[in-house]
């Protein structure tokens, strides 16, 4: 039986732990804080098929299918909520994007429905006047990521996986060093510690992309779907500078989660007031009733961004026995299960459901961030 150490108990590390224990590996998961910490504790948990390129679409779609299977019998531990996504078009330019997006989804048999303005307001009356329409994607959903991480871990634990609390400070061939002096060894090591992977492997082409979110008190009737602006990808994926994009999520308990923002190379927890103001101004612009909604708190989270927006799933290009599952940017909840499956396929030399090439850790020199 092969043994493996997984560094990081976020959603990705927990998903990998489950995949490998199920395959009969002896798994040790190492976590510095608590399970489901890191970006997993900070994110929105939107399980969304995203169509910024074919590789991303396939990985998120596969991820969504695995999430549906995982939650089908037990939605409760994940606070699973099949709210769907409603992409909102504000003008004719965005209205053109609706048709384009719908065409892509249809090509992959992803259910979607084009809404004209009247249909849009019938679905979401709280949206401001003057919008032109939208695209409803009913199979997108929402989970509560820290609980899902623990759920995945508990399944792994039933199969015999072990949890060790401690911070990995260095990774050697076949062993890791913890900050308290302990050394743990295994046949293989998986790095799944999110953005902090660059503390351990500075050669990785990963950059921090910080986000800020706001959670409100309970307003169960305000909106029904996760609302996202159609220019989301354009706004969210600028390659430099600070940006905000409208993204509003109804939590199953009636709370609202307001996003989103992106800032490169910041990992501190101090709220950027100006960016927060921009983000909230935009949210109020889309849903005017938000102005009077009461906010409970704000927080920050750090995404691990790769140069091409795709995660790195596979063996380290220069170190045998060292495996990576990092760089999930703003989609790591959606892609946790699919990426864990693809990684396990490689470690077990199994056939994969997806062509693995686009996700393999790329040659490090070429891909250094600018």
Partner 1 sequence: MSLNVVIVGAGPAGLAAAWSASQSNANITLIDQAAQAGGQIWRGGQGYAPKRYRHLFGQQTTLHYRKQTHVLGASEQQLYLATPQGPQQLRYDRLILANGARELFLPFPGWTLPKVVGVGGLQALVKGSLPIAGKRVVIAGSGPLLIAVASQLKQRGAIIKAVVEQVPIAQLLRFGRSLVGNPTKMLQAAQFAQALANTPFYVNTWITAAEGEGEVQQVQLNNGQRIECDYLACSWGLIANTELAQQLGCRLEQNFVVVDRSQHTSRDQVYAVGELTGIGGEDKAVIEGQIAGFVATGNYQAASQLAQQQAQARQFSQQLAASFALRPELRQLAQANTIVCRCEDVTLAQLQSQPSWRSAKLQTRCGMGICQGRVCGGATQYLFGWSQDSVRFPIHSVSVADLVMESV
- Note the residues at the interface with partner 1 (CB under 8 A): 33-37, 41, 146-147, 150, 165, 214, 216-217, 258, 269-271, 273-274, 276-277, 280-281, 283-284, 290-299
Least separation in angstroms between CB 366 and ligand FAD: 23
Q: Which of the choices partner 1, ligand FAD, none does residue 219 contact, using the CB cut-off of 5 to 8 A by kind?
A: none
| Residue placing its CB nearer to ligand FAD in the complex, 85 or 132 | 85
Q: How far is the CB of 2 from ligand FAD (least distance, A)?
A: 21
Give the CA radius of gyration of the chain. 20
Contact between 84 and ligand FAD per CB under 6 A: no
Which residues, in sequence order, are bridge partners of residue 33?
A: none
* C-alpha span between 361 and 15 (Å, rounded): 19
3-state secondary structure of 336: helix
Distance, in Å, from the CA atom of 334 to the CA atom of 352, rounded to the nearest integer, reads 18
Q: Which residue number, 41 or 104, has a Cβ lying nearer to partner 1?
A: 41
The conformational region for residue 320 under phi > 0 = left, psi -120 to 50 = alpha, else beta, is beta
* C-alpha span between 261 and 103 (Å, rounded): 28
Region binding ligand FAD by CB under 6 A among candidate stretches 35-43, 109-117, 121-129, 361-369 = 35-43
Based on the shown chain and the rule CB under 6 A, indicate whether residue 328 belongs to the binding site for ligand FAD.
yes
Question: Least distance from C-beta 331 to partner 1, angstroms?
Answer: 20
- Ramachandran quadrant class, 59 (left: phi over 0; alpha: psi -120 to 50; beta: rest): alpha
* 96 counts as binding ligand FAD under rule CB under 6 A: no
Strand order in the sheet with 168-172: 168-172, 175-178, 183-185
Do 85 and 64 touch, CB atoms closer than 8 A?
no
By CB under 6 A, which span of 85-93, 96-104, 328-336, 360-368 interacts with ligand FAD? 328-336
Binding to ligand FAD in span 201-220, by CB under 6 A: 211, 213
Contact status, residue 174 vs residue 183, Cβ threshold 8 Å = no
Rounded to the nearest whole angstrom, what is the least distance from the CB of residue 30 to partner 1 in the complex?
15
Query: Of the two residues 327 and 332, which places its CB atom closer to partner 1 in the complex?
Result: 332
Interface with ligand FAD includes 263 (CB under 6 A)? no
Q: Which helix (H) or strand (E) holds 146?
A: helix 145-158
> Which phi and psi (to 5°) does residue 171 adopt?
-115, 120
**Which residues make up the interface to ligand FAD (CB under 6 A)?**
7-13, 30-33, 37-40, 42-46, 167-168, 192-196, 200, 211, 213, 301-303, 328, 330-334
């Amino acid at each position: 039986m092969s043994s493996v150490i997984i560094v990081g108990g976020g959603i990705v590390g927990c998903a990998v732990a489950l995949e490998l224990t199920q395959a009969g590996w002896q798994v040790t998961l190492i976590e510095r804080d608590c399970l489901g910490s890191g970006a997993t504790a900070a994110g929105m948990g939107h399980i969304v098929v995203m169509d910024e390129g074919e590789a991303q679409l396939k990985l998120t779609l596969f991820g969504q299918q695995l999430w549906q299977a995982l939650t089908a019998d037990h939605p409760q531990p994940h606070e699973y909520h099949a709210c769907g996504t409603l992409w909102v078009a504000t003008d004719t330019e965005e209205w053109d994007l609706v048709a384009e997006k719908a065409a892509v989804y249809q090509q992959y048999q992803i259910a979607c429905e084009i809404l004209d303005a009247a249909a849009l307001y019938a679905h979401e009356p709280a949206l401001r006047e003057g919008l032109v329409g939208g695209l409803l994607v009913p199979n997108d959903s929402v989970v509560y990521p820290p609980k899902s991480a623990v759920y995945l871990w508990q399944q792994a634990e039933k199969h015999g996986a072990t949890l060790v609390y401690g911070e990995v400070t260095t990774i050697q061939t076949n062993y890791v060093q913890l900050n308290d002096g302990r050394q743990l060894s295994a046949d293989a090591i998986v790095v799944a510690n999110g953005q902090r992977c660059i503390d351990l492997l500075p050669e990785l082409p990963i950059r921090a992309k910080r986000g800020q979110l706001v959670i409100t008190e309970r307003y169960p009737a305000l909106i029904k779907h996760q609302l996202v602006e159609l220019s989301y990808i354009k706004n969210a994926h600028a390659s430099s500078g600070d940006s905000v994009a409208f993204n509003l999520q109804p939590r199953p308990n009636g709370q609202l989660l307001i996003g989103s923002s992106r800032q490169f190379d910041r990992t501190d927890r101090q709220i950027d007031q100006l960016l927060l103001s921009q983000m909230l101004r935009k949210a109020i612009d889309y849903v005017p009733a938000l102005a009077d909604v009461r906010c409970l708190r704000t927080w920050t989270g750090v995404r691990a961004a790769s140069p091409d927006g795709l995660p790195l799933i596979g063996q380290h290009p220069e170190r045998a026995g060292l495996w990576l599952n990092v760089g999930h940017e703003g989609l790591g909840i959606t892609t946790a299960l699919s990426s864990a499956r693809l990684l396990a396929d490689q470690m077990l030399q199994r056939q994969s459901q997806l062509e693995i090439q686009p996700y393999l850790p790329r040659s490090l020199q070429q891909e250094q961030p600018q």
